[in-house]
Structure 1
Amino acid sequence: MPVELATTSEQREDVFSVRRRVFVNEQDISETLEWDEHDNPAAPTAHFIAYSGSQPVGTARLRVLNESVPDDADNSVASDSGSDIDAKISTDTDTDTDTDTDADTDTCSGNTKQSNCNLETAVTETTTIGKVERVAVLADHRNQGWGARLMQTVETHARQCGLSILRLHGQTRVESFYNACGYSTVSDVFEEAGIPHVSMEKRL
């Protein structure tokens, strides 16, 4: 399967290897911003890894925000007002949103022991908003649909865990990619780690 939930130590090492190459080496983002408490193995965070053959080529991270969906929420969703630095979403700009992804289907659907996913423990009836972070595809694998496959897998997993809204901070250079994936821009441009970003959201 080209995109998998990272559940083993080897897969997690691949996740961090891709992030280091894209964010630290390529984009010159400080390691003190790149690694945080959500990367702790015990954290209620889901990490995803994309493989081309045996080579790790892309990654993404999903966590739960401690916020609830307003009772009167309609198809528009509120902006993320959190001030945490989630630093960056850097993916290919390919807007291919084909649906023939081989997503991991044994995820959080009531079977966290088998899936080894801690995310579901953080989802409650009043906290159903997730945040997509650290989306990255290696430079020589961009514009090949990996970004779309990663996002499709993240969204499938989020639905299975009971999340209803996803938020992200996307770099402005790939804003159109996330628009094509169904995300709406809900903020003005702001900087994170010295890079222009916008807040974006999608109702699942």
Structure 2
Amino acid sequence: MDEHMEQGPVHGVFVVGTNRERGAAFSIREAVFIDEQGVPREDEYDAHDNDPSVTHFIAYADGTAVGTARLRPIEHEGSPAGKVERVAVLKTARSDGWGTELMKAAEAVAIDAGHSQIVLHGQTHAAAFYERLGYETVSDVFVEDGIDHIKMQKPIEAET
């Protein structure tokens, strides 16, 4: 049994710590990216999914996995940065704030890791969401997996 479920109904965002949580995170990605958006399965999964330096997140609403994201360390403009990827929330939970909670969790981990900024490739339809969280568009539109994206970034620092 996964450690978060042992406590009873779970509500919040956690770092993936078990195979069960990992499977739940991947199921969410499949539902959102492969089933809803038509991303080819072979493009959805990559070597970063098994990289031990990558942090995967899972969001639970009352014990049900509803969202996921991953954060991987990169070098950006000569500084250590975090790249947020694979942010996905199930359609039934999209208006419940889980995207924001996943991003806050990723930012907190990135700060703890000493990163100075977060970078992401956001789908253009989600640009306003990321802008509300303080991200700035730094590229023209480009296509990934047949979907329009933009590169966005945000400086981050530990609160004093």
Looking at structure 2, the residues matched to 68 and 26 of structure 1 have their Cα atoms a distance apart, in angstroms, of 31
Taking every aligned residue pair, what percent have the same amino acid on both sides? 47
Looking at structure 2, the residues matched to 144 and 54 of structure 1 have their Cα atoms a distance apart, in angstroms, of 15
1:68 and 1:167, CA in 2 relative to 1: closer, same or farther beyond 3 A?
closer
Deviation at 1:69, TM superposition (A): 4.3
Name stretches of at least 5 consecutive residues in structure 2 with no aligned partner. Answer: 1-10
Partner of 1:25: 35
Q: 1:45 aligns with which of 48, 54, 77?
A: 54
* Number of equivalent positions: 146
Deviation at 1:31, TM superposition (A): 0.7
For normalisation by structure 2, the TM-score amounts to 0.88
For normalisation by structure 1, the TM-score amounts to 0.69
Larger relative contact order (Cα-Cα within 8 Å, sequence gap ≥ 6): 1
Looking at structure 2, the residues matched to 193 and 187 of structure 1 have their Cα atoms a distance apart, in angstroms, of 17
Q: In 1, are the aligned partners of 2:81 and 2:110 still within 8 Å (CA)?
A: no
Q: How does 1:9-24 map to 2 (within 5 A)?
A: 9-24=19-34
Q: 2:138 aligns with which of 186, 193, 203?
A: 186
Q: 1:165 aligns with which of 117, 135, 138?
A: 117
Name stretches of at least 5 consecutive residues in structure 1 with no aligned partner. Answer: 71-126
Partner of 1:63: 72
Deviation per residue, 1:60-91 (Å, 9 max, x gap): 000011x2544xxxxxxxxxxxxxxxxxxxxx
Moved over 4 A (4+): none
Partner of 2:63: 54
